Structure 1
Amino acid sequence: MADLDPISAVHQAVEDRLKVFFPKWHMEPVPAVLTLQEFTTLMGRTPWIGIAWTGFTPDAKSGRQLHGSHVLRLTMALKNPGRGGRFTGDQHAPGLYPAFATLIGALQGHTLPGHGTIAITKADQSFADGYGDKSVALGIVEISVGPQAFSAPFGALADAPAFVALVATYETSDGATVTDTISMGSP
């Protein structure tokens, strides 16, 4: 049922876009905050980009159907044996600054069909506390993708196994409790 999951779909769309510009870089989903052990494991596959979904920011006027933007954090890590080369790049390996410029240029303002438009919300250098390799350079780029409705279409949900109905119970302004049942196959 991965095709029903809007988070996985946005993640995959961002990764597909990045692979065009970073074809030799390792990419994978990562937690928003990496442990030192996770980070050390990933450093064996540099250069890499970790993609973390950090949340969903709803629009103020969403109503009953949630609309808003997905927020993702992209962590870039690379190694370069030259102390200056880790930032500017050289004949040995890519540098952090050119990688930042490429990633920002590839994503800012790009529309992912069905998901919304990408906006860079922050780009910054970073570090891994406790990791002492001086050839490593790290960067964080935070993006927003939207606006998008955070739900699957009812037609797709109707095809999901064992999905019979959507039931919502809520209180009205006068204190009455209302239950709304939407059976699949009916509007």
Structure 2
Amino acid sequence: MDLALAPIRTIEPAIKARLRLAFPSKVFQIERIPPVLTIEEFKRVVRLTPFIGLAWLGIKPDPASGRQLAAAMRWRLVMIVKASSSLEARFKGDTRDIGMDAMIDVAVALLQGAVFDGIGASAVTGAEAVFVDGWADEATVVANLDFEVRYQFSLAALQLKTIDDFKSLHVTWLNADSPEGGAVDAPQTVQPNL
């Protein structure tokens, strides 16, 4: 099985490269993070400000997809800024930091309508200020920017060719039509009607 062309694995570095056009590594930390940060994880990343966390949220399939999945892959940027001088600098920036207002505006401009070669186009779906429960540092501001990347994916890209390739997926099929009314394991061998 070849996972090199799997959608999530392919799009993550492309998103980071797009963000690096305006958020250089000498100033901005960009890391992959879970969509919900624990307070301990937040304490770690807030020390890296200005920080951009890239979180995968899920996939929204097109109901009209056929054998090839057409879907929107949902992502979130978690942006964190800590004031380096006055509290207003959290939003407007100063000589040392960009500020949250500009971070949001620039990220929206980078991601709205961006075309990722071989993958698809992105669209911003929302942005909002958020707070972290249990965090009382007024110098810190946090915002989320949600976007999605439209793409198509086929099982053929994984290059599953042998029985061992398919067995490596460890798929368990459930059958809701059992005599007891609950789901039961179905056989692992599928005989196609030819």
User: Aligning the two structures, in what range does the TM-score lie when normalised by the shorter sequence?
Assistant: 0.7 to 0.9
Matched, 1:163 2:165: yes
Aligned counterparts, 1:46-57, within 5 A: 46-57=49-60
**Separation in 1, partners of 2:48, 2:156:** 35
Question: 1:20 matched to which residue of 2?
Answer: 21
**Separation in 2, partners of 1:164, 1:30:** 30
**Residue 164 (structure 1) shift:** 6.0
Q: Which moved more, 1:1-10 or 1:54-63?
A: 1-10
Question: 1:93 matched to which residue of 2?
Answer: 97
Question: 2:8 matched to which residue of 1?
Answer: 7
Task: Say how many residue pairs are matched.
Answer: 173
**Residue 65 (structure 1) shift:** 2.3
**Identity %, equivalent residues:** 33
Deviations along 1:72-92, whole A, 9 cap, x unmatched? 011001111311110111123
TM-score by length of 2: 0.79
**Residue 108 (structure 1) shift:** 0.5
**Separation in 2, partners of 1:40, 1:133:** 11
Deviations along 1:133-172, whole A, 9 cap, x unmatched? 1111111000010132264525x445x9x526899x899x
- Cα pair 1:68 1:150 within 8 Å, conserved: no
Contiguous gaps of at least 5 residues in structure 1: 172-177, 182-187
TM-score by length of 1: 0.81
**Residue 5 (structure 1) shift:** 2.7
Over aligned residue pairs, what C-alpha RMSD do you find? 2.8
- Cα pair 2:60 2:74 within 8 Å, conserved: yes
Sort the Cα spacing of 1:141 and 1:133 in 2 relative to 1 into closer, same or farther, 3 A: same
**Separation in 1, partners of 2:157, 2:38:** 36
Which is richer in strand? 1
Sort the Cα spacing of 1:132 and 1:61 in 2 relative to 1 into closer, same or farther, 3 A: same
Aligned counterparts, 1:132-147, within 5 A: 132-147=136-151
Provide the secondary structure at the position in 2 that maps to 1:153.
helix
